[in-house]
Chain A
Amino acid sequence: MSMKPVFERTKGLTEAATHYCPGCTHGMIHRLVGEVLDEMNILEDTIGVASVGCSVLAYEYFNVDMVQAAHGRAPAVATGIKRVEPTKFVFTYQGDGDLASIGIAEAIHAAARGENITVIFANNCIYGMTGGQMAPTSLIGQKTATTPFGRDAKVQGSPIRISEMLATLEGATYIERVSAHDVMHLQKAKKAIRKAFEVQKTGGGFSLIEVLSTCPTGWGIDANEALEWIKSDMIPVYPLGVFKDSTKEMK
């Protein structure tokens, strides 16, 4: 197979060393976003919004202007930015606790309003930063710090499928779920991210790319097992694919 080496530097990221655990795919996803911004030559036209979660320090990693937002509020902050700087590219980078739990209202309404922003949604089925507690996306049976006996639908409810849910909104233009568990899927993920920023470029409206991401530390397994777990356990619950694409209708 001929591929670009995965760890070549991109101008889309700063030189800061990331603080992620070994085997965590947050760094990979950052890289994909950085590459897309660089390849589209929009590094000096972009304002990113960092959320609260393990990726909170994203403002040190992306080589663009960055605004750090309160937990869950990134889509509102991005709305404020985009509405007053409509010619700039604006994106958020959010985890699943941030987006699907505390910030679900902001996410839904940003989508419903058709805000011309791009949301990069790293779903790792857990709260990584605070020590591995249940997220709204945690799988049934998944053991976490706050579901020590496994998530029980009767007690903690069922996983929220953000992509499917937001796809029901007319305001959402492009929604795709991808995965970071191997090189082939990372390439697909990058294409999806590129597509989302292209949608934004044409003034197309709200785009969200959900990336299934690992949290070996929170899941209590090693890096390879974590990649495997995405395949074996997450994808069956969170199928990959495009859930909304109204760019064709728009043409």
Chain B
Amino acid sequence: MSKILMKGNEVIAEAAVKAGCKYFFGYPITPQSELVAYMARRLPEVGGLFLQAESEVAAVNMVYGAAATGKRVMTSSSSPGFSLKQEGISFLVGSELPAFLVNVMRGGPGLGNIMPAQSDYFQITKGGGHGDYFCPVYAPASLQEIVDLTQVAFDTADKYRTPVIMAADGMLGQMMEPVEFFETEAPELPEKTWAATGERGDGGPKVVNSLHLDAGSLYQHNKHLNEKMETMRENEQRFESQFTEDADFVVVAYGTVSRIAMSAVKEARAKGVKVGMIRPITLWPFPQKPFEETRERAKAYIAVEMSAGQMIEDVRLAVNGHAPVEFYGKNGGIVPTSDEILEKILAVAGGDHK
């Protein structure tokens, strides 16, 4: 297959179709509306279904219903709409239903604006809805990476019976880049014997449910969920490290802003600063290994975000007191420039690097 030029939101949609997702329930919101429109056109071609729901609340519950029958299904939204999906995500977790949920983040709080942001980090990585849970969160930094991670996300969802989130920012959703779709081998996944399909065969009804009235049984259920989350924490961390072997300073950034930060890192290197970069690809589980490998040597870390400082908390936990963690960020739709990030790197590095 050759490369085609596409918009980020459309890449997410097409990658989902390629991953075998035939069902989409969603509600329009900028800056992810192209995704919804693409699905409306595309899914009928593959014998699937697109349905515009009356709200994000309804959309995520339609996803819940479709997922309960064992189908690959997704929804997408942007920040205010993603807030509305939280109850549904909590139910998906409780009922152990796989689903793919996309948040093309925009500026908040409130109606905020429609510009790119990473301000929903807390909401997507720390549970977000009620109850004790985490969902895997994938944060691609390029359109090609969207293609790869979408497949991974659907497979992870099925493997662990969990909702998974793809976190993009408005910039990634709107940008155009050439991408290539590869035929991937279908991984071995557990059969969905739990699905409520109405076709019992085995005599007993299937129940998809998150209610456990008895404290002991809810405790056991939560224990099971937590064990699953521990396994994911262990096995599903993804990241990319660059120039970290000899790094005195380490920039940490994800998504689009990591690309800008990377050019700042390269410029700083050219000026003789030994700076490297860690790019978390999964925001949950937050990658620990690259920090364990660098924190004995590094003099400081710099978290760069399009938020007022959210991921920095996970960076601090991963650095675990071995080095100071500095921050540079802009929000409200303002994207940090590479000059600004460079300036920050030089300021943290100290000395004369002109």
Contacts and interface: CB of A to CB of B under 8 A. Distances in A.
Interface stretch (A83-91, A131-139, A164-172, A189-197): A83-91
A19 to B, nearest CB: 9
Contacts, number: 131
Interface stretch (A42-50, A93-101, A180-188): A42-50
Interface stretch (B56-64, B136-144, B149-157): B56-64
Interface string A83-124: 111001100000000000000011011000000000000000
A79 B65 contact: yes
Interface in B53-81: 53-55, 57-59, 61-69, 71, 73
Interface in B246-270: none
Contacts of A57: 211, 213
Interface residues of A, number: 37
- SS class of chain B's interface: helix, strand, loop or mixed? mixed
Contacts of B95: 67-68
A45 B200 CA distance: 8
Contacts of B40: none
Contact of A84 (B71, B205, B210): B71
A59 to B, nearest CB: 5
Contacts of B64: 67, 69-70, 73, 76-77, 80
B197 interface: yes
B201 to A, nearest CB: 8
A140 interface: no
B208 interface: yes
B63 A80 contact: yes
A78 interface: yes
Contacts of B91: 69-70
A68 B53 contact: no
Contact of B58 (A66, A82, A106): A106
Contacts of A106: 54, 57-58, 61
B87 interface: yes
8 contacts: A44-B198, A45-B198, A47-B198, A49-B65, A66-B207, A77-B64, A80-B68, A84-B49
Interface of A: 14, 44-47, 49-50, 56-57, 59-60, 62-70, 73, 76-85, 88-89, 105-106, 108-109
